[in-house]
Structure 1
Amino acid sequence: MKNSDSSDLLKRLGVDIDAETFQHALTHRSYTYEHDGAPNNERLEFLGDSVLSLAIAEEVFRLFPELPEGELAKRHHVVVSAWALARVARDLNLGPHIRMGKGEAASGGADKDNILADTMEAIFGACYLSEGRDAARDLVLRLIAPLLLDESVREAGRDWKTDLQVLAQGQRLGDIRYEVTGTGPDHDRTYFATAWVGERAFAQASASSKKEAERMAAREAVRVLGA
């Protein structure tokens, strides 16, 4: 896949990552498979994940001095999730700049949450290597930290299935399971999930993926339980 000129992306990021490192950050492993082992962004992603996690942990700790550890962890989890990182990546129009193999590109890889999120992490890692820890931290805070104060993000990215599990265990309601059915053609399928707690069907929801349908059913079940 031929990616767009990345100079405008660097301007939007407001950083000065050297060209070779930035190219690595934008290279998905599928490109490596088709180009005889060309370097990809997996190592930078590993580094950037830690840069991101620490910067957001510090910011959560600073912004919410009254919250207990469990609530701090929830807020941290939401904004470092693949969903949140992909949202930021789309705002930056990152997808067209990612180098990937023809097969991955044809399958819509430039708009997949996991690929967008991994590339964002790789960019944080590249910034750390090129400009140092402070610059990388500033980049994370500029792009990601605002999500901490966005209630819609916290709701959308919340781990409802874990929340339901905790509630059900605390109230001794029984085991949780999900029943999922799907309708429609493969390219435009809708999934319907029912969240069962013990012997009771607590809630139903629909979405375009099984995972999201289950998550939304868990959300409705949590609301039924009054949490």
Structure 2
Amino acid sequence: MSARRRAPDRALLEARIGHRFADADLLERALTHVSAVHSDKTRTYQRLEFLGDRVLGLCVSDMLFAAFPSAEEGELSRRLAELVRKESCAEVATAWEVGPHLKLGDGEVASGGRRNRAILADVCEAIVGAVFLDGGYGAARGVVERAFTERMHAPRRPLRDAKTALQEWAQGRGLPAPTYDLVTRSGPDHAPMFRIAVKVEGLADAVGEGASKRVAEQAAAAGFLQREGIWKADSHG
């Protein structure tokens, strides 16, 4: 009865991943945490995670290269880093609903291992590695494309902070680096408020406010970028 119950669950997991495994043992290993084995750690997801990390990077790089033909190397690198970070991989594993399928030791189960973001991120990479071994690059690329395309076109975070983006924009036009001047400091010592003006040669200053100089500088840079149409108000990078 137990086996009959597991079979459809595993088939549903494969459907969510988008790959039916010819070698079911590969998926089994990709779902096995080191706490669930006593001696042979090669039976866990660790080796597959190592491989999957590299395969994921290649697949996403391939996708980015095709999707953003005018992007320079720096932008592609930032987009890659955003997509393959642990938080993104954990989100993908959560969408695949891998938690109930994980093989964990009793301690990990008790401590919430099925929802542990680090474990979920590792398992996502391990599954990509398992798909690569089972079906080759084309199969792995298909799985990654289905899981990451939406995230690729709608990054969860700005790809660059405002000060870096403004400095790169100025340098790209042969302008001196932007400078930041304190306009006012107000409020009590325990809750100060800073107004900072960013200056770019030949253009009007932009002013930002914040509870620290760093925050105010970022706000000033973001305001400048939005005012000049370099950034849209709701889409950074």
Question: TM range, normalised to the smaller chain?
Answer: 0.5 to 0.7
TM-score if structure 1 supplies the norm length? 0.67
SS of the residue corresponding to residue 132 of structure 1 reads helix
Q: Does 1:30 align with 2:18?
A: no
Give the partner amino acid of 1:61.
F
Contact 2:79 2:152 in 1 (8 A): yes
Give the partner amino acid of 1:145.
T
How many Å separate the matches in 2 of 1:117 and 1:70? 25
Contact 1:16 1:131 in 2 (8 A): no
Alignment of 1:9-48 (within 5 A): 9-17=13-21, 18-32=23-37, 35-37=38-40, 39-48=43-52
Alignment of 1:177-216 (within 5 A): 203=211
How many Å separate the matches in 2 of 1:118 and 1:162? 33
Contact 1:95 1:116 in 2 (8 A): yes
Total equivalences in the alignment: 177
Give the partner amino acid of 1:37.
D
Cα distance, 1:223 vs structure 2: 3.3
> Residue deviations 1:152-181, cap 9 Å, x none?
x244xx5759969x89xx6687xxxxxxxx
Q: Structure 1 residues 160 and 96 mapped into 2: Cα distance closer, same or farther (>3 Å)?
A: farther
Cα distance, 1:113 vs structure 2: 1.6
- Matched with 1:107 is 111
Structure 2: give runs of 5+ residues left out of the alignment. Answer: 1-5, 169-176, 181-208, 226-237
How many Å separate the matches in 1 of 2:215 and 2:66? 28
How many Å separate the matches in 1 of 2:147 and 2:35? 26
How many Å separate the matches in 1 of 2:75 and 2:95? 27
Q: Structure 1 residues 219 and 75 mapped into 2: Cα distance closer, same or farther (>3 Å)?
A: farther
Cα distance, 1:14 vs structure 2: 2.3
Contact 1:163 1:222 in 2 (8 A): no
Structure 1: give runs of 5+ residues left out of the alignment. Answer: 174-200, 205-217
Contact 2:163 2:218 in 1 (8 A): no
How many Å separate the matches in 2 of 1:162 and 1:102? 47
Query: Equivalent pairs: percent with the same residue?
Result: 35
Alignment of 1:60-75 (within 5 A): 60-75=64-79
Cα distance, 1:202 vs structure 2: 5.3
Q: Structure 1 residues 115 and 221 mapped into 2: Cα distance closer, same or farther (>3 Å)?
A: farther
Greater length-normalized contact order (CA 8 Å, ≥ 6 residues apart) = 1
Contact 2:163 2:221 in 1 (8 A): no
Contact 1:95 1:111 in 2 (8 A): yes
Q: Does 1:59 align with 2:63?
A: yes
Which residue of the other structure, out of 123, 127, 143, is the alignment partner of 1:123? Answer: 127
Give the partner amino acid of 1:22.
L
- Matched with 2:197 is none
Q: Structure 1 residues 220 and 40 mapped into 2: Cα distance closer, same or farther (>3 Å)?
A: farther
Which residue of the other structure, out of 147, 151, 157, is the alignment partner of 2:151? Answer: 147
Cα distance, 1:36 vs structure 2: 3.5
How many Å separate the matches in 2 of 1:102 and 1:161? 46
How many Å separate the matches in 2 of 1:101 and 1:162? 46
TM-score if structure 2 supplies the norm length? 0.65
How many Å separate the matches in 2 of 1:161 and 1:89? 31
Q: Structure 1 residues 162 and 16 mapped into 2: Cα distance closer, same or farther (>3 Å)?
A: farther
Structure with max Cα Rg: 2
Cα distance, 1:37 vs structure 2: 3.0
SS of the residue corresponding to residue 141 of structure 2 reads helix
